[in-house]
Structure 1
Amino acid sequence: MKKSTLVNSLIFIFFLSSIFGCAKRNLVYFSDIEPGSDFSTQITDYPEPTIKEGDLLKITVSSLNPESNLLFNAGVMSSTEGDRMMNAAVPINEGYLVDKNGQVNFPVLGMVVLEGLTKEEAIEKMAQRLEEYIKDPIVNVQYLNFKITVIGEVANPNTFTLDTDRITILEALGLAGDMTEYGKRENVLVIRDEEGVRKAVRLNLNNRDILNSPYFMLHQNDVVYVEPDKIKAVQASTNQRSLAVFGLLASIGIAVLFNLRFYFE
């Protein structure tokens, strides 16, 4: 009888340890870097984002010719302080939309294909085209709708529109208020549309190798999804949570009854 009681007690302890063992999670980023030690790695030349259909671009042109500046910038900028003051009330260019053919409709130049080019390549192409009309043009290209989305087990899931085209996955998580304690840092999903293909890549933020991943630097329209662990998944469902609690109480009750039975026999 004592042997049976001991077996039941061990089963009960194992049951409880298995439940609480599931809740254990490594909450430390780059946990494979030893505490108190230094780590360095060569900065990777990450692939630059390329211009895609649906991007909204701010394209400005500067030259020594005030009239040309007004023509190509719709009053955004001019070459002298007096002209800047005169045109201060002129609405700022709202941007050029990249259409389904990968083109923008630019003043005088007409339709210009920019899809598939990096910002630097787009600047070079625009400058070459503009040299037919103005001398030594200085072109600047910026994204106006560069956005990333962070969802899942983060404090503030949202879509963020940025004023830069360079953002790391860590910065994106920072914008979203960081992961909750239920977020799987070892299994973060990045979804990216690239050259007509939608890719989903899993990243381990507990591992320092992520610093050299081509997905460490995000591109426009990337979606970062932080998956919840099993405990949170159960808690998310009222029915499942109730079943879990009921199952735990039932197991405790059964174990107690068995122990009491053998005790009184």
Structure 2
Amino acid sequence: MKNNYLKFRCLPKRIFIVVLFLVLFASCGNMKKSTYFYEAPDSIYNSSKFENLEDTLHENDLLSISVSSVNREAAAMFNTSNQVGASTTMVSGVLGQASGYLVDKMGNIRFPILGEIEVAGKTKQEVRDYITKALTDQKLLLDPIVDVRLLNFRVSVLGEVLRPNVFTVPSEKISVLEALSLAGDITIYGNKERVSLIREVDGNKILHHLDLTSSEILSSQYFYLKSNDVIYVEPRPSKVAESSVVRPWIPVALSAISLAVITIVNFK
């Protein structure tokens, strides 16, 4: 009986040591999966060749076109007409109202005096140059300055993040890491090794998987996002297994183990 008592007294310590060992082992194994750029060396990662690539305009893009000139009164007519409003979610997550020139299904916008202008398939710089030349050639303005911006540059962040949302980016430039930060970052259940990027190119949907634990993303063409990109953070396999099968059985398993330990101690 005394021997059984001593074994019972030593049992919690042994269990504690085993559990501690398992926790330390698991934490070391999961460090890579939980950390951005795990063990990446100090270096220079160049993604500038992709940073300044200007995307072409598409149907349903919302453009802001402002025109200025030495004759302010003459330029004013090009800044007030043919504008439409659209609801948009800003980077703060607040729903706001934006107004501009909406690209129709034919790929055109209606611009004052100049009429319909085909913009789909062109870059903002090409649209800017076209309007500037048209205003100058038709002697509508003297030395016009035209600025074209995309008002509905937006990205969607879904999956295992703190605040999934659609974010409109006024600066028209955002990286995948900045987009994740706007969504509150990846949760502890998110799989940083498998983040999906969905992008539309020439009417086709492209799916690409990103590994955010690798420093290669810093020099990737997918580091900077394009308008209408969708980021989806997959859950870790452990979470899926835990929620679907394992988790409901954990209390039962613990009870069975406790009962077995008590039985062994009392009857050995």
What's the TM-score bracket when you normalise by the shorter of the two chains?
Answer: 0.7 to 0.9
The size of the alignment, in residue pairs, is 227
| Identical positions, percent | 39
* Aligned counterpart, 2:205: 198
* Aligned counterpart, 1:71: 77
What amino acid does structure 2 have at the position aligned with 1:94?
S
Compute the TM-score of the two structures, normalised by the length of structure 2. Answer: 0.74
Look up the SS of the partner of 2:54 in the other structure. coil
Query: CA–CA distance in 2 between the matches of 1:95 and 1:148?
Result: 19
* Aligned counterpart, 1:41: 45
Unmatched segments (≥5 aa) in structure 2: 1-17, 82-96
* Aligned counterpart, 1:110: 115
Query: CA–CA distance in 2 between the matches of 1:135 and 1:236?
Result: 67
Aligned residue among 119, 124, 133 for 1:119: 124
Look up the SS of the partner of 1:72 in the other structure. coil
Aligned residue among 130, 136, 141 for 1:131: 136
* Aligned counterpart, 2:166: 159
What amino acid does structure 2 have at the position aligned with 1:122?
V
- Is residue 142 from structure 1 mapped to residue 149 from structure 2 by the alignment? yes
Q: For residues 90-147 of structure 1, what are the alpha-carbon distances to aligned partners after superposition, in whole Å with 9 as ceiling and x for unaligned? A: xx99200011121111111111111122222221222222222323211101111111
* Aligned counterpart, 2:186: 179
Unmatched segments (≥5 aa) in structure 1: 1-12, 76-91
CA RMSD of aligned residues (A): 3.0
Look up the SS of the partner of 2:56 in the other structure. coil
* TM superposition shift of 1:235: 4.5
- Is residue 208 from structure 1 mapped to residue 212 from structure 2 by the alignment? no
Query: CA–CA distance in 1 between the matches of 2:255 and 2:58?
Result: 57
What amino acid does structure 2 have at the position aligned with 1:40?
I
Query: CA–CA distance in 1 between the matches of 2:177 and 2:98?
Result: 32
| Compared CA separation, residues 28 and 213, structure 1 to 2 (3 A) | same
Compute the TM-score of the two structures, normalised by the length of structure 1. Answer: 0.74
Look up the SS of the partner of 1:218 in the other structure. coil
* Aligned counterpart, 1:229: 236
